Amino acid sequence: MTLPTSSIERVRAALAEAGLPTVTRRFAEGTRTVADAAAAIGVQEGQIVKSMVFATASGATVLVLTSGVNRVDEHKVAALVGEAVTRPDADHVRRVTGFAIGGVPPLGHRTPLPTLLDEDLWNYDELWAAAGTPYDVFAITADQLQAATGGRRATVRR
């Protein structure tokens, strides 16, 4: 089996593998930031899923999926994973996930990552996440996101 090479193809393949619709939407104006994505899609900022990568003190990497209106509390993440965490540089993010910052999706990463899902994602019936580029997104529910990522539901916001 040949693995998809483009970022968006990898996300679509991961969605299909999870049994989810593979429909993505492209916005020429860009969806790199929460505000840009919400404006382009026409939804609340809280409905945008931020995919945030953290490095642990032991060298592991953790993915935190949070509502677009929330800031992640690194101390809470550290308590959940059992060691200190920091925000790695863009090269680390690309090396581990296979995606550039501004388009990191919640699934389809080069390396499977332990994942924490912000409790507040369940406040919305529909969420929108990056589909591997700063222009492409897909719709998903919090339950689908949890099932597709195998992530743990947690309170991670400040």
pLDDT of residue 102: 85
The rounded distance, in Å, linking the Cα atoms of 23 and 16 is: 10
User: What is the chain's pLDDT, residue by residue, as a tens digit (158 residues)?
Assistant: 444 568 899 999 999 999 998 899 999 988 988 999 999 999 999 999 999 999 998 999 999 999 999 999 999 999 999 999 999 999 999 999 999 988 899 999 988 899 999 999 999 999 999 999 999 999 999 999 999 999 999 999 99
**Per-residue burial over 41-75, b = 16 or more CB atoms within 10 Å of its CB, e = otherwise:** bebebbbbbbbbbbbbeeeebbbbbbbbbbebebe
Q: Which domains does the chain have, with CATH numbers?
A: 7-149 (3.90.960.10)
Number of Cβ within a 10 Å radius of residue 155? 12
Cα dist from 88 to 44, 98, 155, whole Å:
28, 14, 21
